[in-house]
Structure 1
Amino acid sequence: MRMGKIVCTIGPACDSLEMLKTLMQNGMDVARLNFSHGTPEQHLEILNNIKEARKQVGKNVGIMADFQGPKIRCGWFEKNADGKDEVYLDKGQDFFITSQDIIGTKEGVSCTYKDLPKDVKPGDTLLLNDGLVRLEVKGVEGDKILTQVLTPGFLSSHKGINLPGVKISSPALTQKDEEDLNWALDHGVDMIALSFVRKASDLDPAKKIMEEKKCVLPIIVKMEKPEAIENMEEIVKACQGIMCARGDLAVELPFWQVPIINKKLITMSRYWAKPVIMATEMLSSMIKNPLPTRAETSDCANAIMDGCDSTMTSNETAVGSDPARVVETMAKISEYTCEHGISYIPSVKAREDNGQEVLSCAALPAAYERRAKAIVVLASSTDPIAAISKFRPSIPIYAFTPNEETYYQLSLYWGTFAVFTPDLLTPSRDVFFKIDEKLKGICGLSKGERVLIETIENEGSPESAGSGAIFDHVIS
């Protein structure tokens, strides 16, 4: 059984209703909308397709709105003779970046961050296109940054600009992010992702907007700035999930440091019971090729054995030649690794002051000893599921929830299969009968098989160690 979840970035290659249904059937658990690209009209069409697809497939596929953040990008280049909006920058040539809106050429290009000329100084390094092109700042003249090309390469429209070692003055939640967040809240996404967070307080503006709109969604923080790594624990505690965004992080920091940072992030996230996603170039060769490289296969498997809840596709599904095969491939790697490599996942301790984790820690040995087929949790929020999923059980967690928002948000948690049950609230003989019917129907279990049922009281008070109960139950 596949316990690891799959997050897929949606783009032109996979945004049709039929393709989305195929991705869901092949293993997609969360659909990621990248707000760095596209218009509100395009996002709405895709969002409606996702909602219709998950309804037809009958799967709790979550929808994540991933906001651009203070990401600095190039503007648009004019098309060359081949019809491509790209240029080749030669080593040693002069090249300028301006905050004015211009059409880019081989001589220079605009950028999306208007205060960039104020934040850089001579001697600073600018890395473009994920570090493939390297520039040195020679001077600043008004709104124009004068640079020299140190590492040559191709540069095309809308590619990223990174400034390692430079602290930019842009707010964590930009005006565009605020507009996108309000749009996402109005149109019913299930979770949001914030980019380029540097400290825990960077989450406050988004939290304030959600509270004002009375629509508070889980915040997934993309860890991609050196300052974020310095403030790792405070950020993990403040958010509801972590994304190891290796692309920008490996540009902002020496790339050889990133694997160790990832492991620390995973360990920290699991301790605080926050789902963690491994992202960037997981199967990038499959953008064009039908099979992954051996290194990519190992990367996906090792992410799971390191303790990640999810692995994520980016361009592989958004613009790749065969998104369906990509998801099928990732699902196969995940399933085999979960079945044969779960013992390699590091153990994690329960927090003694968290009653839900203490209860879950007691439930797992009992489940294994009694050879239970699954753990059933009655929960109205994601908290009880997080408290047991963090231990990476080798048997599935069936989360019975009366809350539709929780039903979709649980799509991100390791080993969790959500069942929407608005009529199941508290344990009783009648409720156990209904659970049995669901277990035999939706979950595929059989009469006579054993499960452990965990119930939580006072979910909002995790410090209360006596706030739940465990029932040894045989399906009738």
Structure 2
Amino acid sequence: MLRRTKIVATLGPATDSPEMIGKLIEAGLNVVRLNFSHGTHESHRQTIALVRRIAKEMNRTIGILQDLAGPKIRLGDLAQGELEVQNGDTMVLKAGEASDDPGIIPVGYPYLAEDVEKDERILLADGLVEILVKEIKDGLVYCEVIVGGKLSSHKGINLPSSNLRVPSFTGKDKKDLALGLELGVDFVALSFVRHEKDLIQVREILNQVENPPLLIAKIEKPQAVDRLPQILAQVDGAMVARGDLAVEMRLEEVPLIQKRIIRLARKEGKPVITATQMLRSMMENPRPTRAEATDVANAVLDGTDAVMLSDETAVGSFPVESVAMLDRIAHYTEGKMEDMDFEAQDTEVVPATEGSISRAACMLARELRAAAIVAATTSGSSARLVSRFRPKTAVIAITTSEEVQRQLALSWGVVPVLSPNYDNTDQMFEQAKKDALNWGLAKGGDRLVITAGVPVGVPGTTNLVKVMDMID
């Protein structure tokens, strides 16, 4: 059975060799993630070239996602290197990169005293330490420790209630994006998005490129959750970035936020990735915990387009096993799912003609027991609109663009196929039959449901649905 849910995996020291990349692809990898918080431009350049070469040798469609670092705020150099704070202790914070005074904790954010407020919660060391602002005086922020723990230089700091002046798209991000565009990445993920305005500069840069990558908004700030519909309207996809999201918001809120993000992204017909600690224990162990297996299955049941591995494949001891485990869990879960009632799905936000054609194709495929739905697509949009209904029938996307083919590697249930150019619908229908046969998704006597646009090759003109019998 074809696995519908796609797998994204982060490359790192544990997996950036040709042998390991090949093994990850063989285990079920669909999209490679490159974390631009780490590595050099030269190392990323080499990795992208390596992924492209190996994917071509293996005849696999593998997308590449560039994850921009964004404005991560960290502690400066502590005078004592590290310290342990207890509940009830007083901590004093001050903007700066270092402090010689062991009684003052430096924070690498110049507007700290201006942007925080009394009774505001601050989280340190990925949320392990929690403090509460009690007083702000003479550039110093006096806090009470609510949850104690260990701190050391350069640990992360989160200010979930503050409207920080730091931009989501930093100078480093701009340089990294220029490299990504030069090397032809397929997706760009923007970190710490708070408002749809944060996306404007990135979108302007992408619009200058002939075949731009898809823009993915990482939802990891409370402000982004509050403006989710507006943000989704400006991007091509979303990531449920549960790491920082669980630090900045109450832990018990995250599961329902995850479901809401997935639901709204599907409603918009845009791919959504569920990320962070999917199989965290497999960094050290060859098998996941029961809770992790359940977490992955629930993401699949929610209808996420993709599940993502981070440290598990970047630095973990069992990267190939982690990808294989995602593949197993997704396969089994999908096999037990009943066909979703796509007629009940939200459709009012989809452009009328394209949305109606996509919905009609899914209805026809179900009622006629078609072997596959074939979406002839120039931009990838029509295939994604079919995908949003989550049909049981396989979705074959035929496109003449290598960029679109790789971008569709992220979309639920879509088998992206590179097609030769065709001049008319008759040639396109013949190509659809060939691709369905070549991929083993149809045989003689089966039926196909085909969606396309006329005139052929013009983006955004999906206006045709056809039922075709496969002649022996």
TM-score by length of 1: 0.90
Structure 1 residues not aligned, in runs of 5+? none
Q: Does 1:341 align with 2:337?
A: yes
Q: How does 1:88-237 map to 2 (within 5 A)?
A: 88-93=84-89, 95=91, 97=93, 99-102=95-98, 110-137=106-133, 145=141, 147-156=143-152, 158-214=154-210, 216-237=212-233
- Residue 421 of structure 2 corresponds to 423
- Residue 59 of structure 2 corresponds to 58
User: Counterparts of 1:103 and 1:445 in 2: how far apart (Å)?
Assistant: 68
2:285 alignment partner, SS class: coil
User: Counterparts of 1:106 and 1:344 in 2: how far apart (Å)?
Assistant: 59
Moved more, 211-220 or 318-327: 211-220
1:212 alignment partner, SS class: coil
Change in CA separation of 1:160 and 1:342 when aligned onto 2, cut-off 3 Å: farther
Change in CA separation of 1:108 and 1:291 when aligned onto 2, cut-off 3 Å: farther
Match of 2:390 among 382, 389, 392: 392
Match of 2:358 among 347, 360, 366: 360
Contact in 2 for aligned 1:100/1:143 (Cα 8 Å)? no
Moved more, 325-334 or 233-242: 233-242
- Residue 25 of structure 2 corresponds to 24
Match of 1:369 among 367, 372, 379: 367
Change in CA separation of 1:117 and 1:186 when aligned onto 2, cut-off 3 Å: farther
User: Counterparts of 1:290 and 1:432 in 2: how far apart (Å)?
Assistant: 46
- Residue 350 of structure 1 corresponds to 347
2:233 alignment partner, SS class: helix
1:13 alignment partner, SS class: coil
Contact in 2 for aligned 1:134/1:152 (Cα 8 Å)? yes
Q: Deviations over 1:316-348 (max 9, x none)?
A: 111111100000000100111111124468851
Contact in 2 for aligned 1:17/1:52 (Cα 8 Å)? no
Match of 1:254 among 246, 250, 253: 250
- Residue 328 of structure 2 corresponds to 332
Q: Deviations over 1:404-434 (max 9, x none)?
A: 1101100110000111113245421x44444
% identical equivalent positions: 37
Match of 1:456 among 453, 457, 470: 453
Moved more, 409-418 or 299-308: 299-308
Change in CA separation of 1:471 and 1:120 when aligned onto 2, cut-off 3 Å: same
* 1:245 positional shift: 1.3
Q: Deviations over 1:139-180 (max 9, x none)?
A: 567776554543222345654211121111112211121121
Structure 2 residues not aligned, in runs of 5+? none
- Residue 468 of structure 1 corresponds to 464
User: Counterparts of 2:117 and 2:379 in 1: how far apart (Å)?
Assistant: 49
Q: How does 1:30-41 map to 2 (within 5 A)?
A: 30-41=31-42
Change in CA separation of 1:97 and 1:34 when aligned onto 2, cut-off 3 Å: farther
Change in CA separation of 1:321 and 1:121 when aligned onto 2, cut-off 3 Å: same
Contact in 2 for aligned 1:451/1:472 (Cα 8 Å)? yes
Match of 2:283 among 281, 287, 293: 287
User: Counterparts of 1:158 and 1:56 in 2: how far apart (Å)?
Assistant: 42
Contact in 2 for aligned 1:14/1:323 (Cα 8 Å)? yes
User: Counterparts of 1:104 and 1:355 in 2: how far apart (Å)?
Assistant: 66
Q: Does 1:438 align with 2:430?
A: no
1:435 alignment partner, SS class: helix
Change in CA separation of 1:32 and 1:142 when aligned onto 2, cut-off 3 Å: farther
Moved more, 162-171 or 443-452: 443-452
Moved more, 153-162 or 263-272: 153-162
User: Counterparts of 2:404 and 2:100 in 1: how far apart (Å)?
Assistant: 46
2:406 alignment partner, SS class: helix
User: Counterparts of 1:281 and 1:461 in 2: how far apart (Å)?
Assistant: 38
2:346 alignment partner, SS class: coil
User: Counterparts of 2:67 and 2:100 in 1: how far apart (Å)?
Assistant: 27
Change in CA separation of 1:66 and 1:397 when aligned onto 2, cut-off 3 Å: same
How many residues end up aligned between the 2 structures? 468
Contact in 2 for aligned 1:77/1:103 (Cα 8 Å)? yes
1:363 alignment partner, SS class: helix
Paired residue type of 1:238: Q
Change in CA separation of 1:103 and 1:336 when aligned onto 2, cut-off 3 Å: farther
Paired residue type of 2:289: T
* 1:93 positional shift: 4.9
Q: Deviations over 1:80-120 (max 9, x none)?
A: 9xxxx865444455555554334999766654434334322
User: Counterparts of 2:26 and 2:319 in 1: how far apart (Å)?
Assistant: 12
Match of 2:402 among 401, 404, 413: 404
Contact in 2 for aligned 1:290/1:325 (Cα 8 Å)? yes
Change in CA separation of 1:104 and 1:15 when aligned onto 2, cut-off 3 Å: farther
Paired residue type of 1:405: E
User: Counterparts of 1:225 and 1:391 in 2: how far apart (Å)?
Assistant: 28
Change in CA separation of 1:285 and 1:322 when aligned onto 2, cut-off 3 Å: same
Moved more, 276-285 or 436-445: 436-445
Change in CA separation of 1:22 and 1:75 when aligned onto 2, cut-off 3 Å: farther
Q: CA RMSD in A?
A: 2.8
Paired residue type of 2:27: N
User: Counterparts of 1:28 and 1:368 in 2: how far apart (Å)?
Assistant: 28
Change in CA separation of 1:300 and 1:342 when aligned onto 2, cut-off 3 Å: farther
User: Counterparts of 2:108 and 2:87 in 1: how far apart (Å)?
Assistant: 24
Q: Deviations over 1:426-451 (max 9, x none)?
A: 421x4444433333224454333322
Paired residue type of 1:455: A
